[in-house]
């Protein structure tokens, strides 16, 4: 990979493996509004470290989403951290560009006790060690390299977590990050016992009626602009109540908006619980990571997000301007 001065260099697999072997205890940290990548990557590494006799906890501010509960160890995921952690506990942040994405319940942690494992473009390299591989399709595949370095056996539970990370971040092998290597790794994980059927069912096939009704409402409210290249819509508290839906039922809506013929960028404004979270998706021409970064958010070229403070109409205007600045 070509590195320029502005691209910080990732730690090597050997460096990270040595650090993992040195530490007695770990807290795996996943991001707010967790997805299959942040959670699956943390669980996979946690399960593997336990096999090496290490003490492992999982910190996540939000509850485990219904459709991710099939993964091993999810019952131990909590926003509470034990009081008796050793001073040299390593906090492993997975799938986030900055510690702020872990939420406000995260205790203050010394940088020397932070390992940052991620594949986001704008990762802030906030750890003592930063294992940031932006060419990887998921944080889970970064973890897979570490497991190989550690020499831990990847059992069926770990393989299922890792395949979940890949299937989540490739949209079930549909996004452009689905390279031949990704398919090879996935085949290996299936041979190791990864339960692809269960992942497909839980993440892609089973839909709650409430989620589909909410999708219908969001489609009804959608607006198409920029000569058919941009579509945006919103969901708010009233729509959630009317559909008996909750925040988890909003996850897929933006991808449906993006799938509309001719659309280059889709935006969904999620206005509930007193804040606006914006999800952006691109079909490949416009860099929505750069657009989100203009408003304090982040993500990937084709999938990004941000949190906006203020009224919905201001958010709509701000996002419009950021997208225009990125060439929409
Ligand atoms: P989402 O639309 O929530 O599925 O998020 C898409 C991508 O954008 C993911 O890679 C997220 O990590 C990233 N992202 C979402 N919200 C934020 C935010 N507030 N700040 C930084 N990155 C975000
Ligand atoms: Mn994520
Ligand atoms: Mn990811």
Nearest CA to ligand 1 atom 7: 304
What's the alpha-carbon Rg for the chain, to the nearest Å?
19
pLDDT in tens, 254-263: 999 999 999 9
Distance (angstroms) between ligand 2 centre and the Cα of 157 equals 20
Q: Residues 175-184: what's their mean pLDDT?
A: 96
* Confidence tier at 1 by pLDDT (50, 70, 90): very low
Q: Residues 171-200: what's their mean pLDDT?
A: 97
Distance (angstroms) between ligand 1 centre and the Cα of 299 equals 5
Could you tell me the end-to-end alpha-carbon distance of the chain, in angstroms, rounded to an integer?
28
CA-based nearest residue to 71, from 191, 168, 159, 171:
159
Number of helical (H) and strand (E) elements in the chain, helices listed first:
11, 12
Q: Cα separations (Å) of 59 from 16, 82, 104, 283, 295?
A: 20, 10, 12, 33, 27
Q: What is the mean pLDDT of the chain?
A: 96
pLDDT in tens, 194-206: 999 999 999 999 9
* Confidence tier at 3 by pLDDT (50, 70, 90): very low
* Token reading at 103: 């939420």
Q: Is the pLDDT score of 144 beyond 80?
A: yes
Q: Is the pLDDT score of 4 beyond 60?
A: no
Ligand closest to CA 305: 1
C-beta separation of 27 from 59 below 8 A? yes
Ligand 1: nearest atom to the Cα of 254? 2
Nearest CA to ligand 1 atom 16: 305
Nearest CA to ligand 1 atom 2: 279
**Helix, strand, coil tally for the chain in percent (to 5):** 40, 20, 40
pTM of this prediction?
A: 0.92
Residues 246, 214: Cα–Cα separation, whole Å: 9
Ligand 1: nearest atom to the Cα of 279? 2
C-beta separation of 200 from 190 below 8 A? no
Q: Residues 106-114: what's their mean pLDDT?
A: 97
C-beta separation of 288 from 297 below 8 A? no
Q: Residues 86-105: what's their mean pLDDT?
A: 97
Nearest CA to ligand 1 atom 19: 306
Ligand closest to CA 101: 1
Ligand 1: nearest atom to the Cα of 306? 19
pLDDT in tens, 11-62: 999 999 999 999 999 999 999 999 999 999 999 999 999 999 999 999 999 9
Q: Is the pLDDT score of 5 beyond 60?
A: no
pLDDT in tens, 199-255: 999 999 999 999 999 999 999 999 999 999 999 999 999 999 999 999 999 999 999
CA-based nearest residue to 29, from 120, 92, 75, 116:
92
Task: Ligand 1 pocket test: pick from 37, 39, 290, 299 the residue with the most ligand atoms within 8 Å of its Cβ.
Answer: 299
Q: Is the pLDDT score of 6 beyond 70?
A: no
C-beta separation of 312 from 249 below 8 A? no
């Amino acid at each position: 990979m070509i590195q320029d001065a502005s691209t910080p260099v990732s730690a090597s697999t050997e460096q990270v493996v040595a650090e993992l072997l040195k530490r007695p205890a770990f807290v795996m940290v996943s991001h707010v509004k967790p997805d299959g990548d942040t959670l699956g990557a943390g669980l996979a590494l946690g399960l593997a470290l336990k096999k090496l006799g290490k003490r492992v906890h999982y910190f996540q501010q939000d509850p485990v989403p219904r459709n991710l509960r099939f993964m091993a160890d999810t019952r131990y995921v909590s926003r509470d951290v034990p009081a008796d952690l050793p001073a040299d506990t390593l906090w492993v942040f997975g799938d986030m560009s900055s510690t702020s994405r872990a939420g406000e319940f995260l205790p203050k942690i010394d940088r020397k006790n932070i390992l940052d494992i991620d594949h986001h473009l704008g990762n802030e390299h906030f750890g003592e060690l930063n294992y940031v591989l932006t060419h990887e399709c998921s944080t889970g595949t970064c973890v897979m390299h570490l497991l190989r370095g550690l020499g831990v056996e990847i059992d069926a539970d770990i393989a299922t977590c890792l395949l979940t990370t890949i299937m989540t971040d490739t949209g079930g092998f549909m996004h452009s990050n689905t390279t031949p290597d990704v398919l090879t790794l996935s085949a290996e994980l299936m041979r190791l016992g990864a339960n692809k059927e269960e992942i497909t069912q839980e993440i892609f096939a089973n839909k709650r009626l409430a989620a589909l009704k909410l999708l219908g409402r969001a489609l009804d409210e959608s607006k198409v602009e920029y000569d058919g290249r941009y579509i945006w819509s919103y969901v708010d508290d009233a729509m959630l109540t009317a559909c008996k839906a909750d925040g988890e039922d909003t996850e897929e809506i933006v991808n449906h908006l993006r799938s509309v013929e001719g659309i280059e960028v889709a935006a969904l404004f999620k206005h509930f619980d007193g804040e606006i979270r914006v999800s952006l998706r691109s079909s490949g021409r416009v860099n929505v990571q750069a657009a989100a970064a203009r408003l304090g958010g982040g993500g990937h070229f084709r999938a990004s997000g941000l949190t906006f403070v203020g009224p919905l109409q201001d958010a709509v205007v701000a996002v419009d301007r950021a997208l225009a600045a990125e060439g929409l």
